[in-house]
Amino acid sequence: MSQSNNQTAMVGLIFLIIPWLFLLTVFLKFGLGVGYLYDPLDALLTDPRYSALNILAQMVVVFGPIVALLLNVISTAKTQVGVEEGSLVSTVTIRGSFFSIAVMGVSLFLIAIIVFYTITEKAAEAAIRQYLGG
């Protein structure tokens, strides 16, 4: 089972590479002011001739961590549901290697960053609209 978990974790890691690199370039650009990785990527993704690439990149960045998390949860988590003394009892057991659990942690971290960014961006847009009276 450990070999299977490690293989699934490796597949999950592949799904995490592009979102992680994208967020790293964003952090370098807006956090540290180093734009030599972000600027060419931004120019490529905002070019109207490559709108399909823009959509694909957004899909990979958003859904890559979700797919990685789901793959590793399905591989490592086992559930049991039963009735004991008239009550419904559910048990979730996670048996995974350190590598698969680490991939799940990184996936959750990336998902949290994406959700936080989305919420704050929408709140900022609403505040700007309200400030401008629109």
The number of folded domains in the chain is 1
Q: Which range, 44-58, 65-79, 113-127, has the best average confidence (pLDDT)?
A: 65-79
Residue 12 belongs to domain spanning: 2-132
Helix (H, G, I), strand (E, B) or coil at 47: coil
Asked if the model's pLDDT at residue 12 lies above 70, the reply is yes
pTM confidence score: 0.80
The pLDDT tens digits of the residues spanning 70-111 come to 999 999 989 999 999 989 999 989 888 899 999 999 999 999
Asked if the model's pLDDT at residue 24 lies above 80, the reply is yes
pLDDT of residue 101: 92
The pLDDT tens digits of the residues spanning 111-124 come to 999 999 889 988 88
Q: Are 14 and 60 in contact (CB under 8 A)?
A: no
pLDDT of residue 29: 92
Specify the DSSP class assigned to residue 49. G
pLDDT of residue 41: 86
Six token digits for residue 100: 């698969």
Of all residues in the chain, what percent carry a pLDDT higher than 90? Answer: 54
